[in-house]
Amino acid sequence: MWKKNIRWQDIRRRLTDETKEEIIMPMLEVKDIYKSYGTVQILKGVSFAMEQEETKVIIGPSGTGKSTLLRCINQLSPPDKGQVWLDGEEITNPKTNINKMREKIGFVFQDFNLFNHLTALRNVSIGLEKVKKIEKDAAQKRAMQELTRVGLEAQINQYPAQLSGGQKQRVGIARALAMDPDVILFDEPTSALDPELIGDVLDVMKSLCGKVAMLIVTHEMGFARNVANEIIFMEGGLIVEQGSPKEMFTNAKMARTREFLGRIGALYGEEETGG
C-alpha cells in the first residue's frame, strides 16, 4: 500500500459551464501509468502531479521503471494504460498532436544524444528552426544565449565528438531549454559522466530551480536533498512514498524508504546545506 499525497487533490481547479466551479489543475498530471515490455510489467500504476517551476526528483533502485516512466510521459514509449495531462491537454490521447506536445516537454538523456553532425550551436538551434519555425538568425541568437547560460559560449562551433561528457550534457540541457518547455525531464543526467564532471552539470541544474519545472531521475542524493521541492521514491514499478526532502530524509513514513535513504545517504554523503 502506498500513501497518497493529497496535496495536489486539494488544489484542483477546472472551469465548467454547468457548475461554474473553478478547480485548479496541476501543470503536469500523470495518472495510473502501466507499462510492460513483453511479459515483464515495468510500471504498475503510477500517478503524481507537478506544478509550474517545481523541482521533483525521483529516486529508487535501478531497474524499477524510473526511466521508463519519463519516456511514458513524453510518449517515446507510449504507456499501455493510463493518462498524461499537460496544461489541461491529454497527451496520451491518440488524437492529440504529439509533436506539438513534445515542444513543451524537454528531455535530457543519460547518453546525451547530441546530433553528431551538428555543432553545439546548431544542436541547440535546430529545434527552434525546424520545429518552432523560427527564422535562422533569431534561432541562433537564442541558442547562443542558452549556451552562454550553461557556460559553453566558447564551444559553440565544436562538434559533439570534440566535447567532454560534461560539456555534451550541458549542450543537451541548453537544447532542451531553448524550446521554452513547461517541464524538463532529466533521465539520469549524470550517470554516464566521470565523477569530476558531474559537478558542472549539477550546478547548471541547480541554477534552473524555480525557473522551469524539472522532473529528475537521479542517484545524486545530495542534489535531491538540497534542491528538490519534492522527492518521489519508486520501487518495483510503483511509488512507495513521496514527500518533501526534509520529510523523506529525516522522517520517512515507510520502512523501505528509510532503509533505501539510509543506505544510499551514507554512500553518497551529504552536501553542505549552506546557502
Binding of other proteins at residue 135 (CB under 8 A)? no
Binding of other proteins at residue 179 (CB under 8 A)? yes
Binding of other proteins at residue 100 (CB under 8 A)? yes
Q: Give me the residues paired with residue 81 across strands.
A: 34
Binding of other proteins at residue 186 (CB under 8 A)? no
String of contacts with other proteins for each residue 114-133, x by CB under 8 A: xxxx--------xx--xxx-
* Of the candidate residues 103, 165, 256, 258, the single one contacting other proteins (CB under 8 A): 103
Binding of other proteins at residue 237 (CB under 8 A)? no
Binding of other proteins at residue 96 (CB under 8 A)? no
* Of the candidate residues 111, 135, 180, 203, the single one contacting other proteins (CB under 8 A): 111
Q: Which amino acid is at 91?
A: I
Find the part of the chain contacting other proteins (CB under 8 A) among 42-50, 155-163, 235-243, 259-267.
155-163
Binding of other proteins at residue 267 (CB under 8 A)? no
Catalog residues that contact other proteins under the rule CB under 8 A.
74, 76, 99-103, 105-107, 109, 111, 113-117, 126-127, 130-132, 159-162, 175, 179
